[in-house]
Amino acid sequence: MEDTVATSSDSMTAPVFEHPDRNLAMELVRATEAAAIRAVPWIGRGDKNAADGAAVNAMRTFLATVAFDGVVVIGEGEKDEAPMLFNGEHVGNGRGPSCDIAVDPIDGTSLTAAGRQNALSVIAVADRGTMYDPVDAFYMDKLVAGPEAHGVISLEQSIGDNLRELARAKGKDVGEMVVAILDRPRHAQLIDEIRSAGAGTRLMRDGDVAGGINAARWETRIDMCVGAGGTPEGVITACAIKALGGFMEGRLAPQSDEEHRKVVAAGHDLDRVLGLNDLVASDNTYFVATGVTDGQLLDGVRRKGPLIRTESLVLRSKTGTARRVIAEHRSDKWLESKA
């Protein structure tokens, strides 16, 4: 039953609003801003590990100041042996809520190294024990869309059926549909099937976290994000999709015999379709991202005279709130000797 409070009229009642609590994401955004700023000198320099290392060091330093007891469930860099915030690492000052944390100091290290668009610095947080732990499962098939997709599409349907059903739910023609997908050889057949169904594609070089988020936002041209991408990035995306009210499914998809062997040995069911609540069970998720390079989701870090400008997206599922945070940082405060 909904709690109520009397108004000036005895015949009328109004809902009692829950007392606002602290929005952890507004503290976490400082860590993604720092990581993005520190990565800037490495944009277009061809060294993705150096860019990632600079971002990791900055993110770790700022996370240490946040009032929470965080444990890294999903660290970054395990696939390519880059510098990492490692799984099991404790972050935060140890005071406050106990949380699972997933980090990707740069989602799109190759994009950053090449000077291409759509690189982000990302953190996702949920209540302790609620994030899916992929263990040795580095890749999963993903299907992401907006709120209209609930009860309409599924990984167990063909891409053609999914496109037709979602188009009907959105009141669009299939020919108006746009699908984001990583530009990889493994997706050649899937891309052909999307185009044969009459839809268009938005091919991404890297960084499918942004692709998934754009698929769930009403103001973008992306209607759906599909294909095999990183499992850690899938869990991070799920935290954002919960806040946006969108739809997401995943299914583990090993890309090599060795990965297949490890995934099966870890006890994973390769036929199981993972829903949003399987990927993150908490209804109180936080997602923060800061643009490193310009992209469809966020502007990248920009130097404007004596200022450094950052743009971030801050999402929280409990309140259903999405904020864009534009920050201007004095460049003289970002000397190499400072965190």
Alpha helices by DSSP H, listed for 117-230, are: 159-170, 188-196, 208-216
Q: Which residues of the chain have pLDDT under 50?
A: 1-12, 14-20, 77-82, 337-339
Q: What is residue 335's predicted lDDT score, i.e. its pLDDT? A: 58
Q: What is residue 334's predicted lDDT score, i.e. its pLDDT? A: 79
Percent of the chain at pLDDT exceeding 90: 76
**pLDDT, tens only, 35-83:** 999 999 999 999 999 999 999 999 999 999 999 999 999 885 444 444 5
H or E segment and range at residue 277: helix 276-279
The residue ranges of every structural domain in the chain are 24-128+284-333, 139-279
- Domain 139-279 fold is D-Maltodextrin-Binding Protein; domain 2 (3.40.190)
Distance separating alpha carbons of residues 180 and 191, to the nearest angstrom: 10
Structure tokens at 281: 């069970």
Exposure string for 84-104, b = 16+ CB within 10 A, e = fewer: bbebebebbeeeebebbbbbb
Binding residues for Mn(2+): 52, 76, 104, 107, 233
Distance separating alpha carbons of residues 322 and 100, to the nearest angstrom: 21
Distance separating alpha carbons of residues 110 and 119, to the nearest angstrom: 9
Taking the CA atoms of 103, 246, 142 and 110 in sequence, report the sign of the dihedral they define.
Answer: negative
Give 71's strand partners.
Answer: 90, 100
CATH number given to 24-128+284-333: 3.30.540.10
Distance separating alpha carbons of residues 295 and 291, to the nearest angstrom: 7
> Which residue in 48, 216, 32 sits closest to 124, CA to CA?
32
Contact 292, 120 (CB under 8 A): yes
> Which residue in 132, 37, 77 sits closest to 330, CA to CA?
37
Q: What is residue 84's predicted lDDT score, i.e. its pLDDT? A: 67
> Which residue in 175, 81, 209, 78 sits closest to 136, CA to CA?
78
Q: What is residue 176's predicted lDDT score, i.e. its pLDDT? A: 97
Side-chain half-sphere of 191: how many Cα atoms within 13 Å?
13
Q: What is residue 76's predicted lDDT score, i.e. its pLDDT? A: 59
Structure tokens at 318: 């409990």
Distance separating alpha carbons of residues 104 and 297, to the nearest angstrom: 16
Binding residues for substrate: 107-109, 139, 184-186, 206-208, 230
> Which residue in 218, 186, 230 sits closest to 78, CA to CA?
230
Distance separating alpha carbons of residues 296 and 311, to the nearest angstrom: 12
Tell me which amino acid residue 6 is: A
> Which residue in 248, 249, 243, 270 sits closest to 259, CA to CA?
270
**pLDDT, tens only, 115-159:** 999 999 999 999 999 999 887 889 999 999 999 999 999 999 999
> Which residue in 172, 219, 216, 171 sits closest to 198, CA to CA?
172
Q: What is residue 88's predicted lDDT score, i.e. its pLDDT? A: 84
Tell me which amino acid residue 203 is: L
Sheet containing 139-145: order of strands: 200-204, 178-182, 224-230, 139-145, 247-252, 274-275
Distance separating alpha carbons of residues 184 and 206, to the nearest angstrom: 9
Radius of gyration of the chain (CA): 20
Binding residues: 52, 76, 104, 107-109, 139, 184-186, 206-208, 230, 233
